[in-house]
Amino acid sequence: VNLYELFTLIYCVFKNKLKDKQNMHSLWLFISIVLAVDNNHIKKLLEKLCNTTRFSSIEINLDEPCAYTGFDTTPHDTIPAPVSLLANPHVNTNYLEGSAIWKKIYEVRRDTTHTRLVNGMHFSTFVFICKNYYDQGNGTYLPNKKLFHEKYSQEKYEDFLLLRESMLKTVGFCNTNSLGLHREERKLLEEIKKSLEHSSLVKMDEKRIQDMQKCVNLISCVSCARCKLWGKLKFVGLMCAIKLQNRWTKIDFDEFVCFVNFTNHLVIAYDAVENVLK
């Protein structure tokens, strides 16, 4: 049992006994501190990898037609290909139809695992919106702590923690010799793998790949190009994680770029919750 599992177990055992909310908060704070120790180191390594030339741009189709009805798919903006992830960071875009898309994504499969995966992804998206919220007054992106606390969900936060840990653990499944990595990329990935021996894992079977593809198809109905970019990247990254866990020997490099960037996204989101938005 690793540290995360141990403290989660402690939380479950005492959940019904610790009636005092302050004690409950203190327990979760203690767990968060333990997780943060690993997060800071991993964050530096992942950011370094995601800033390399091949991991900071991606070939991803943002022009696929929407296969569903009931959505306004009139493009609000465009992003040239190949897409620079550094030039198109995940920020608040004021896209107003996100709730309808998320509703459909939750309905792709009605089971606990799917709900928890989507919850975790939904929470991370919410964090980036709050972390990089557009301030019309001065035309810059600033943290919106008020929105974060108004819309915060403890359930989704816990699912986010589990997704973050699971994606990190999946890095350990990477065969650095079969991914066509350059020397510096391979070195960074090996460093990351060595730092992740104590992560937890949500094991996902291959049937989830079809679910994630349906989610990618739903993202094609989004009219905001930047929202579409990061939505597709996350679900393709999750598909790649499933393939890695199930020992697929052929992984498309752009899929792997999505996987690494989504994992980085989760690590940054955790850091934002702990150090920016609380």
DSSP sequence for 85-100: TTTS-------S-HHH
Mean pLDDT computed over every residue of the chain: 86
Kindly report, residue by residue over 236-252, the tens digit of the pLDDT.
999 999 999 999 988 99
Kindly report, residue by residue over 86-135, the tens digit of the pLDDT.
999 999 998 878 899 999 999 999 999 999 999 999 999 999 999 999 88
SS3 63: coil
Tokens of 69: 């009805």
Kindly report, residue by residue over 222-278, the tens digit of the pLDDT.
999 999 999 999 999 999 999 999 999 889 999 999 999 999 999 999 999 999 998
pLDDT at 94: 86
Which range among 57-66, 74-83, 150-159 shows the weakest confidence by mean pLDDT?
A: 74-83
Q: Bigger pLDDT: 82 or 96?
A: 82
Instruction: For residue 37, name the pLDDT band (cuts at 50, 70, 90).
Output: very low
Tokens of 108: 């792709």
Kindly report, residue by residue over 7-19, the tens digit of the pLDDT.
555 555 455 554 4
Alpha helices in the chain (DSSP H): 3-14, 21-50, 98-106, 112-131, 145-151, 154-170, 183-194, 207-219, 225-245, 253-272
